[in-house]
């Protein structure tokens, strides 16, 4: 029996079983939460809304069977161990194809140490950081698993995360998240599965070159050595700028892709909770938000909101400041933050070169580095001062969480005028939608430049790179995803295309 039930914020979740007993009118052994969401449309009557399954016996569910590839199995190389690469590797293994996974960074445990060292000392490892390493850039984020894409693989992504140790609530929450701390263990579990299945993983090595014979892939150069390969999955991530250059030099069709840039905006988490939920906010999980404004000449929106999180130094190149947001599973931090970004158009890049967007990002990051005064300090400005057109001189109730320290500077020092103008128009508009969003003490920290890939590597309906048989551009870096879930789903999609080719 499927039931729709509600609980008030102060009610324990155990009360669901009592409600089921009343509705079912008989003994039941099976109880499962299928979906959970928060209805906060009326602050005076906030309710948790559940879809639950209960009955005398659990429905019979057998393990999913994966058709096995027989005979000569292809030599598959996957470049990149982010969500797209890891999920592709796991799916191929389940079909009997044993991949070689190549990652320019380090295993997630060692990578976390390098990240902490950078936060503490400012010593940047350009191959092991928030952008590069096992797990991909999403490992140091809020670990959100909701997506705006409508892929048939999305549910499989959730089920795979659960298989490898994600918290059970990820399976039924309307807005699931794993958190950076728990996501690292999930990534390690996926790695162990790949190794146990006979897969090979090489760390701290680059995909350096690609060789073709008669228009089809024949070999890849990894860490100075050439290896024969029938299939190459490009799951390189949105910051693999040197790889984009190599692919362009090898004749891959690459086009500019529009993205968005801006800053991180920080508020007190309590203030967001009060605004979203009213006086009951302490009985509820840390509140989030998602805002869009069309008040200016361009769209402005919030992105990657991190309740109870921190703004983190996310550079991958020397001499550039990059910001991102990160939360642990508990979301226990004092501040809330999100990206506040404005759409960038191709005309802003300043040229027709396929990698012009990359150079646009790099210019902003280097300008932010200079505005911050060096040592990867970030330039900051309070919302009240930004709207008034003056530099800030002291913090109010919101203290920045950025680990490398901050320096007061005008956002105009590193952002194009069209971006700051649009943000000035958007902030009051967003205030009308979320009380306190444009609080004068809210902190703006720059620069948020890696919202998505600035390029798309063109592929056909068979998901192979145009004119490059055997190569499969995949995930966010190649321009086909935007976040953990959609990148993982694209990894599954590519894996299934490869499997069908060899069945």
Give CATH for domain 2-55. 3.30.70.2700
Interior angle at CA 281, CA 179 and CA 396, nearest 5: 80
Where helices occur in 197-328 by DSSP H, the ranges are 241-249, 269-277
Cα dihedral 467, 471, 477, 481, rounded to 10, equals 90
Cα dihedral 294, 295, 297, 301, rounded to 10, equals -50
- Which distant-in-sequence residues (6+ apart) come within 8 Å of 141 by Cβ? 180, 304, 306, 324, 325, 326, 327, 484
434 three-state secondary structure: coil
Same fold, 2-55 and 76-255+455-502: no
What mean pLDDT is predicted for residues 205-227? 96
Interior angle at CA 54, CA 65 and CA 39, nearest 5: 100
**pLDDT (tens digit, 9 = 90+) per residue, 322-351?**
999 999 999 999 999 999 999 999 999 988
In this predicted structure, what is the pLDDT of residue 503? 82
| pLDDT higher than 90, residue 71 | no
- Residue 76 bridge partners (DSSP): 99, 231
Looking at domain 76-255+455-502, its CATH architecture is 3-Layer(bba) Sandwich (3.50)
Considering Cα of 213, then 198, then 163, then 106, what sign does the dihedral take? negative
How many residues can be counted in the chain? 503
Single pTM value for the model: 0.96
Q: Is 461 left (phi over 0), alpha (psi -120 to 50) or beta?
A: alpha
How far is residue 177's CA from residue 200's CA, in Å, rounded to a whole number? 29
**pLDDT (tens digit, 9 = 90+) per residue, 153-202?**
999 999 999 999 999 999 999 999 999 999 999 999 999 999 999 999 99
Among 488, 472, 479, 489, smallest CA distance to 187 is for: 488
In this predicted structure, what is the pLDDT of residue 444? 98
**pLDDT (tens digit, 9 = 90+) per residue, 115-126?**
999 999 999 999
In this predicted structure, what is the pLDDT of residue 325? 98
Confidence of residue 234 (pLDDT cuts 50, 70, 90): very high
- Which distant-in-sequence residues (6+ apart) come within 8 Å of 18 by Cβ? none
Domains of the chain by residue range: 2-55, 76-255+455-502, 260-448
**pLDDT (tens digit, 9 = 90+) per residue, 305-320?**
999 999 999 999 999 9
């Amino acid at each position: 029996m499927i039931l729709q039930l509600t609980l008030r914020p102060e009610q324990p979740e155990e009360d669901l079983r009592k409600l089921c007993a009343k509705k079912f009118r008989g003994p039941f052994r099976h109880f499962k939460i299928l979906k959970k969401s928060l209805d906060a449309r009326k602050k005076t009557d906030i309710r948790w809304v559940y879809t639950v399954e209960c009955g005398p016996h659990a429905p019979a569910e057998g393990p999913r069977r994966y058709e096995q590839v027989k005979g000569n199995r292809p030599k598959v190389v996957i470049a990149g161990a982010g969500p797209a690469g890891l999920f592709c590797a796991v799916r191929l293994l389940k079909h009997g194809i044993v991949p070689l996974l190549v990652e320019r960074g380090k295993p997630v445990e060692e990578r976390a140490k390098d990240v902490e060292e950078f936060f503490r000392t400012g010593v940047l490892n350009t191959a092991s950081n928030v952008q590069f390493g096992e797990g991909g850039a999403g490992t140091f984020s809020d670990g959100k698993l909701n997506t705006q894409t409508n892929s048939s693989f999305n549910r499989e992504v959730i089920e795979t995360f659960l298989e490898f140790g994600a918290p059970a609530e990820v399976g039924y929450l309307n807005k699931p998240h794993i958190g950076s701390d728990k996501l690292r263990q999930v990534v390690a579990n996926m790695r162990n599965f790949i190794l146990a299945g006979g897969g090979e993983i090489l760390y701290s090595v680059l995909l350096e070159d690609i060789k073709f014979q008669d228009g089809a892939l024949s070999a890849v150069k990894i860490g100075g050595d050439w290896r024969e390969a029938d299939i190459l999955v490009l799951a390189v991530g949105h910051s693999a700028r040197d790889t984009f250059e190599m692919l362009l030099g090898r004749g891959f069709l690459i086009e500019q892709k529009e993205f968005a840039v801006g800053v991180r905006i920080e508020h007190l988490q309590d203030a967001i909770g009060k605004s979203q939920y009213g006086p009951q906010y302490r009985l509820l999980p840390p509140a989030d938000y998602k805002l869009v404004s069309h008040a200016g000449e361009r769209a402005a929106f919030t992105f990657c909101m991190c309740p109870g999180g921190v703004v983190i130094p996310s550079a991958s190149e020397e001499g550039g400041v990059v910001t991102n947001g990160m939360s642990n599973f508990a979301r226990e931090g004092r501040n809330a933050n999100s990206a506040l970004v404005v759409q960038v158009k191709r005309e802003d890049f300043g040229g027709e070169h396929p990698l012009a967007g990359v150079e646009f990002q790099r210019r902003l990051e280097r300008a932010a580095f200079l505005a911050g005064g060096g040592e990867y300090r970030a330039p900051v400005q309070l919302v009240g001062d930004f709207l008034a057109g003056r530099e800030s001189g002291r913090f109010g109730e919101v203290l920045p969480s950025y680990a490398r320290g901050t320096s007061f500077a005008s956002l105009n020092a590193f952002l194009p005028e069209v971006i700051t103008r649009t943000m000035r128009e958007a902030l009051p508009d967003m205030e009308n939608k979320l009380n306190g969003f444009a609080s004068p003490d809210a902190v703006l920290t720059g620069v948020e430049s890696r919202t998505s890939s600035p390029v798309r590597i063109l592929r056909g309906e068979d998901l192979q790179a145009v004119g490059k048989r055997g190569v499969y551009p995949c995930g966010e870096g190649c321009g086909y995803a935007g976040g953990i879930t959609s990148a993982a789903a694209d990894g599954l999609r590519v894996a299934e295309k490869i499997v069908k080719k060899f069945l």
